[in-house]
Amino acid sequence: MRHIPKLSFWRMAGVAAVAALFVAACGSTTTTPKTTSGGTVTFAEGPSAPPSYIFPMASGTYFSVTNLSDFSQIMYVPLFWFGNTSSQPVFNPALSIGNQPTFSDNNTVVNITLKHWQWSNGQPITSRDVIFWLNMLSAATDPNAPAVGSSSAPGPGWGAAVPGAFPQNVVSYSATGTYSLTMKLNASYNPTWFLYNELSQITPLPQASWDELSASGPIGNYDASAEARVALPNTSPAQYVPSDPGTGTTGALGVAQFLNSQSQSLGTYQGNPLWQVVSGPFVLKDYTTAGYVKMVPNKNYSGSPKPTISAFVEEPFTSDTAEFNALKAGSLTIGYIPTQDITQKALLEKSGYTFNPWYDFGFVYFPYNFTEPTTGPIMQQLYFRQAFQSLVNQEQYIKDFLAGYGVPTNGPVPTYPPGNPDASPLESKGLVYPYDPTKAVSLLKAHGWTVNPGGVSTCTKPGTAADECGKNIAAGAQLSFRLLYAQGSVALTNEMTALQSIAQQVAGIKLTLSTAPFQQVIGTAFNGCTFSTPCSGWDMANWGGGWVYSPDYFPTGGEILGTGASSNAGDYSVPTNDHNIQATHTAANQTAELKALFTYEDYLAQQLPVVYMPSGPYQLTMYKSNLNGLTHQGIFDEVYPQYYSFS
């Protein structure tokens, strides 16, 4: 997730190698077609996965590519942009509002300057707009505030929150000018990591238009205009303390709550003046609660290039079958061909479409709910996770359900493209736990379970000895689990039913499958499950994808697999893993960083904190052949409609 500011040249070679491989994989062109202005580009949303949250500060419940990369970031540009139209996983200063930051005082001070961009209403984007984000983020991630998901949660929370990390590792921040600000950090950090995984989380927001506590109230400085984070004696991490208690924590929380409530009010998007003040290349024109989105160019967009199309439309679909019907009818400019329909690719190409698989920098998995009071103790046992992973036939899924597009997932760091320098030799050489039903059965039998093929296996030897079921697993406990997965994808349904069949048929592991819309599945999985506040409504949850490394761009796991992280569904919590993650944050040179990263990923390849599933393209894109600007697609699933034009 973290790549190259100029102070970290030691990652340059690795990133260049990855970039070159992605360019080769995705194709290139040397011709420059004649283009025309105008026209509407229609973009297919994922099956049963419409955008449902517009405020860029999304909690874990809404923290998805659908809501961020494909929706809000088109309107609200992050301070620092990563990825480019050549499918390279790099920092992109050209599309960033901020210039590349500088570090001083042994990398404990960060100095940031902004370009002279403006909001769509003509007002300048200033350091005050950056501090507005920081103040709300500090309040929403305050470790002393109620947990996100509780009835008194501050809202909206932040899906990238990691205990002790950003913004808790910032001692103070303040504006030093209209277009400049300074941060003081609580320790010396690697500038590469801090840019790519911490500063990457900042999105300037229009303080002069949004700093209010209600739709009918006045605009103020409720978020606290002065420095909002100070180091208190004998506290670790630093606590959020406003300079003015009357307009600080209460105000920042109040503004965040108000904006969160407005973002949850989907039916008001189209007419809400809040969402008309944007920094990105497009502004929202139409929106329906079904997920239909129409954006039109922001005439005051400060970046380059300026949009030339008339509108960018995102079309919702309840299933990939419905999407494919629209694609065949020619009503989509950019769509995708479901893997089960790949045999019709040639027909689509003859009808005027171009095929371009969309690869991203991430991995595919689904989590266990370790906090579930009844089944959690079973899933906490490494032998069970080893047995369950041995029932996942990744290579067969790729062949039968993914049309051959994909690679097995062996751990949390992508092995695609081949030669990715961040993937360890262990991850790159092949599956640590290949498909092996016999091994799955033997592992269960060796740990106190009476295996009942075709039925439900039971614990008949409770206890904590090496040949017993394990801690907190009672005699008579059953291997019976609820697996919730996202509806609408035939490939995902096939994978889940195949896993359900083999698990019970061979090992007596009963999986009760249920489906729900994408947003409901991630809302269930990322609902603040912890051992102190356990979730009992699910055992496993599969939203049909996994994780793309954004907005933390260097592939370490603090955001998704660190203890207490907002996006750590099911609350995997192991001190060794936390130590390994921390080592990737503080490495002093390339050798130390790579060693730390390999240690982290090798540990999780063997410990199986999640169920690893085959990683294929983000989607098998089909786009109208007269559309320019889509030769390459965003490696972090970002979308670039400002580059689109028609020949």
Nearest of 247, 242, 89, 114 to residue 182 by alpha carbon: 114
pLDDT tens-digit readout, 346-371: 999 999 999 999 988 999 999 999 99
Q: Note whether 526 and 631 are same-domain residues.
A: no
Assign residue 227 the CATH number of its domain: 3.90.76.10
Asked whether residue 404 is assigned to any structural domain, the reply reads yes
DSSP string, 394-440: HHHHHHHHSTT--B---SSS--PSTT-TTS-HHHHHS-SS---HHHH
Q: Note whether 371 and 254 are same-domain residues.
A: no
Asked whether residue 203 is assigned to any structural domain, the reply reads yes
Contact 401, 338 (CB under 8 A): no
Tally of domains within the chain: 3
Q: Note the pTM of the prediction, 2 decimals.
A: 0.86
Of 257, 274, 291, the residue that ends a domain is 274
Asked whether residue 5 is assigned to any structural domain, the reply reads no
Q: Note whether 452 and 567 are same-domain residues.
A: yes
Over residues 521-529, the mean pLDDT reads 90
Over residues 22-44, the mean pLDDT reads 65
pLDDT tens-digit readout, 231-281: 333 333 333 343 333 334 457 888 998 999 999 999 999 999 999 999 999
Q: Note whether 123 and 201 are same-domain residues.
A: yes
Q: Note whether 329 and 191 are same-domain residues.
A: no
Q: Note whether 269 and 322 are same-domain residues.
A: no
pLDDT tens-digit readout, 416-463: 767 788 899 999 988 999 999 999 999 999 999 999 999 999 999 999
Assign residue 397 the CATH number of its domain: 3.10.105.10
Q: Note whether 534 and 630 are same-domain residues.
A: no
Q: How sure is the predictor about 32, in pLDDT bands with cuts at 50, 70 and 90?
A: low
Quote the CA–CA distance of 361 and 18 in Å, as a whole number.
10
Cα distances (Å, whole numbers) of residue 272 to 266, 277, 313, 331: 10, 10, 19, 29
Of 274, 303, 329, the residue that ends a domain is 274
Assign residue 316 the CATH number of its domain: 3.40.190.10
Indicate if the alpha-carbon torsion angle 190, 195, 196, 200 is positive or negative.
Answer: positive
Quote the CA–CA distance of 394 and 398 in Å, as a whole number.
6
Domain that holds residue 105: 49-274
Quote the CA–CA distance of 442 and 187 in Å, as a whole number.
49
Q: Note whether 65 and 193 are same-domain residues.
A: yes
Tokens of residue 584, six digits: 């990737």
Peptide bond into 417 cis (omega under 30): yes
Asked whether residue 199 is assigned to any structural domain, the reply reads yes
Q: Note whether 232 and 344 are same-domain residues.
A: no
Of 239, 274, 309, the residue that ends a domain is 274
pLDDT over 50 at 99, yes or no: yes
Q: Note whether 193 and 264 are same-domain residues.
A: yes
Quote the CA–CA distance of 66 and 74 in Å, as a whole number.
11
Q: How sure is the predictor about 25, in pLDDT bands with cuts at 50, 70 and 90?
A: very low
Q: Note whether 500 and 637 are same-domain residues.
A: no
Pairing of strands 362-367, 610-612: antiparallel
Please state, as a whole number, how many other Cβ atoms lie within 10 Å of the Cβ of residue 75.
21
Q: Note whether 490 and 344 are same-domain residues.
A: no
Asked whether residue 101 is assigned to any structural domain, the reply reads yes
Quote the CA–CA distance of 170 and 216 in Å, as a whole number.
34
pLDDT tens-digit readout, 467-497: 999 999 999 999 999 999 999 999 999 999 9
Asked whether residue 17 is assigned to any structural domain, the reply reads no
Nearest of 226, 168, 33, 187 to residue 103 by alpha carbon: 187
Quote the CA–CA distance of 66 and 284 in Å, as a whole number.
15
Asked whether residue 30 is assigned to any structural domain, the reply reads no
pLDDT at 416: 74
Asked whether residue 519 is assigned to any structural domain, the reply reads yes
Over residues 407-416, the mean pLDDT reads 90
In three state form, how does the secondary structure of 3-60 look?
CCCCCCHHHHHHHHHHHHHHHHHHCCCCCCCCCECCCEEEEEEEECECCCCCCCCCCH
pLDDT over 70 at 31, yes or no: no
